[in-house]
Chains A and B, each alone.
Chain A
């Protein structure tokens, strides 16, 4: 751990690799972003720096153009070609990494490209004359950054650290690694983006303690809570919203422009022009109080920052409940944070900064450029790994979403709550619902919603061979294990016989970060309706259970009742059955209570009988 401490406090005890000039390996950090990509390295003074292109720009638009002449163009030039050559130009390829055709069609129905299914179910994109995989497209961006870095550093690279969203699954991570390999890069490690940002602050500024990383990009929002201490980066909680980002701010301006033009059904070309203008105006409003603009066709207008902020306030405020929940999940108050780190271009909007400052009760840290901080952190990590690869920065991660099991009536029983540190193992006992039940279905779901049908289904299997017993007598233990890589194993075991079934599930497989964040959002939005549905379901399940128990009690011990009593019990059962078909949980609960009160004498008699040893009293519990 000594070397780690040295790195936390640079200068005190220099790493031998760094002490000798020229001995440092050429390693870089790459932020392979949806909209922009950057490359950074540790400079001569030990500070990480983003490497600019010939024109001094550090951000490379993540756009690749496949020319008819076979030429491949990346960056600014490719982006300029997008409107005139939509089919030959690929934007935001990061969204397709590690995804299948169906996946992409479902999620991005508007993309202009023809998609084909390639080997292994991964998507292929038809780009003009060529058919390319997302891995190849990404590798073109990486190649561009690689040559930029090699020109600047004066030789071939020894290795890279590439950043990925915290929610990226195995397939997406593998695709990213493959892209690096195609580009001729050796990946030292894939690093989670929020962790990279925390690393930049932690190492750069020697900071320790609890940090919130607020990352508002073009299309997504992410917030993570990390604790930095003595070489350990502990993720405490994460959360986010996919359908929220700077693009939504552009959208507000765009709608205003189209309104001013009086266009109710604008042509695609006009929409694109207004969108481009919206982004420019938005960016200028970060520095200017009022911006004048000219719309296509010559109409001019002005917009003040106040008007813009009033328009986007509700959108920007939507990030705050998510921050609040992440703090709550992490078990810390805003006042306990050492700092709030801003990441992503959309955090340049002054309103966003003010809201963040207000919410966390402190000025956010912006001494590192929010567009660059992820790449800078990656450069640090690359330097660490390249300089001395026996040294480890230990990262302790959590499960981003709750893992549960479907129970009767479409309900979800959460077994591993979201933001649980991994590896973890949690078990819960279940029992049979009906007399003589010999099998139990196990449906593994992921998400925060109350109903199984609204969560993401991960796996199903059946535990068979349960010996026939009375309802409630079997004891089935279901165990969820999540290992350090996030791999989930589910096992179900009937305890009296030892019958067991298990299955290995890839919890995040096929689930994008947007989806995960989107599911969290849905859960919040529908919390109230879910609760009602849940209560109603619970009440119905309870009614059904009580009715089944009463039925089998009557079958076994009906002789304990005289004719009148039998009639009364049956009347109560009928009343409960009818009520349970209604929509009111409270009324059903009431009927269950009435049934319970009205049959207590019967339960008592059955108990007495079983105590006398005339019969087993096993089902009494079920009934009383």
Chain B
């Protein structure tokens, strides 16, 4: 990473959040990916506890509240940093967003991969099972709970597959894995949407 000139003291400073000479907050470096920003290893498996710990550390250093009495430049930079930190947290927290982000990092251009028909048939079947549930009926809670358990299991299994594939993708011949990963990311998206649908029905059944 090339050295840059600090906007505040005009001194030379390296990469980082703050100038190593005058400690002024530096502009956001979009070349630093979300994993590096949080000091985490690039990969699909993320340690939630560590992620949140790093999040709090970054907030303690960068939050606009700490720059309220500083100049306009510093206030703006602090806001930009924390906006990005929040985006990074969201991306790294949700498996689906994380998978999409990793694919983009790996250079995958978002092409539409046609889903395999066997999987689509499965999805249709699950949808039908969901459509048959009447949220007002007495057995709705039970049926939704069963469907949720199954759907979550499918999502977890898909995530486990993705974790394995990402490990392979970061090894040799990584590019060959990307279309497969993209396909499985699409499958995870289906599971995610199904779970969201389930959320809505549960809200109604719970009323």
Q: Chain A interface (Cβ within 8 Å of chain B)?
A: 1, 229-232, 234, 318, 320-321, 324-325, 328, 331, 392, 394-396, 420-425, 481, 483-484, 524-525, 527-528, 531
Contact = CB atoms under 8 A, between A and B. Distances in A.
B64 A394 contact: no
B83 interface: yes
B95 interface: no
B206 A423 contact: no
B64 A321 contact: no
Interface in B173-207: 199-200, 203-204, 206-207
Given A232-B59, A394-B63, A320 B206 contact: yes
Contacts of B66: 392, 394
B161 interface: no
Contact of B204 (A394, A481, A527): A527
A446 B93 CA distance: 25
B65 interface: yes
Interface of B: 56, 59-60, 63-66, 79, 82-83, 86-87, 89-90, 93, 135, 199-200, 203-204, 206-207
Contacts of B83: 423-425, 481
Contact of B203 (A232, A394, A527): A527
Nearest to A328: B199
Contacts of B199: 328
Given A232-B60, A423-B83, A425-B83, A484 B207 contact: no
A398 to B, nearest CB: 10
Contacts of A1: 60
A328 B206 CA distance: 13
B86 A483 contact: no
A483 B206 contact: no
A208 to B, nearest CB: 12
B26 to A, nearest CB: 18
A69 B64 CA distance: 51
B86 A423 contact: yes
A395 B59 CA distance: 10
A18 to B, nearest CB: 24
A586 B79 CA distance: 46
Contact of B65 (A420, A484, A528): A484
B64 to A, nearest CB: 4
Contacts of A231: 60
Contacts of A528: 135, 204
Nearest to B206: A321
A423 B80 CA distance: 8
A531 B59 contact: no
Given A392-B66, A394-B60, A484-B64, 7 more contacts: A392-B65, A394-B59, A420-B90, A423-B82, A424-B87, A481-B83, A484-B63
Contact of A531 (B79, B86, B200, B206): B200
Nearest to B205: A321
Given A396-B59, A423-B79, A484-B63, A525 B207 contact: yes
Contacts of B86: 420-424
Contacts of B206: 320-321, 324
Contacts of B89: 421
A602 B141 CA distance: 49
Contacts of B56: 229-230, 232, 234
Nearest to B202: A324
A359 to B, nearest CB: 11
Q: Which 10 residue pairs across A and B have the least CB separation, nearest first? A: A484-B64, A321-B206, A423-B83, A421-B86, A425-B83, A424-B86, A232-B56, A524-B203, A423-B82, A527-B200
A232 B207 CA distance: 34
A230 B206 CA distance: 36
